[in-house]
Amino acid sequence: MNYTEVLVSPILSEKSMTIKDTQNRYTFKVNSKSNKSEIKKAIETLFKVKVTAVRTANFPGKLHKVGRYEGYRPDWKKAIVTVKAGQKIDMTDLPK
């Protein structure tokens, strides 16, 4: 899997911004089939930082109703990446 295919998008919520500032952890939406070592290599090569830990969580798609029609949103995976102290990831410089 290509490194740009592993990372889908950053998660820029209030909680993720708080842990970025206080604990030096960054939150990304990642490909559901990627594992922790692939995520670590992708972050290290794309952003030129040293990753110390990767935590992942899988989220099932929720039921979504529109009128009489219903279906499920897609499943997705989140990764919380801890970066070595003193290093930062510039969220404005993300690959497309």
CATH of the domain at 59: 3.30.70.330
Q: What's the CA gap between 42 and 79, in Å, rounded?
A: 12
Q: Which residues span the domain enclosing 58?
A: 3-85
Average pLDDT, rounded, for the chain? 93
Count of domains for the chain: 1
* Residue with the larger pLDDT of the pair 11 and 93: 11
Q: What is the pLDDT of residues 35-52, one digit of tens each?
A: 999 999 999 999 999 999
Q: Is residue 95 part of a domain?
A: no
Tell me what percent of the residues of the chain surpass a pLDDT of 90.
89
Q: Is residue 91 over pLDDT 90? A: no
Q: What is the pLDDT of residues 13-22, one digit of tens each?
A: 999 999 999 9
Residue 11 to residues 54, 56, 66, 69, 76, Cα–Cα distance (Å): 15, 13, 26, 29, 12
- Token couple for 25: 């952890």
Q: Is residue 45 part of a domain?
A: yes
Whole-model pTM?
0.87
Residue 13 to residues 10, 26, 73, 78, 88, Cα–Cα distance (Å): 9, 11, 20, 13, 18
Q: What's the CA gap between 57 and 27, in Å, rounded?
A: 11
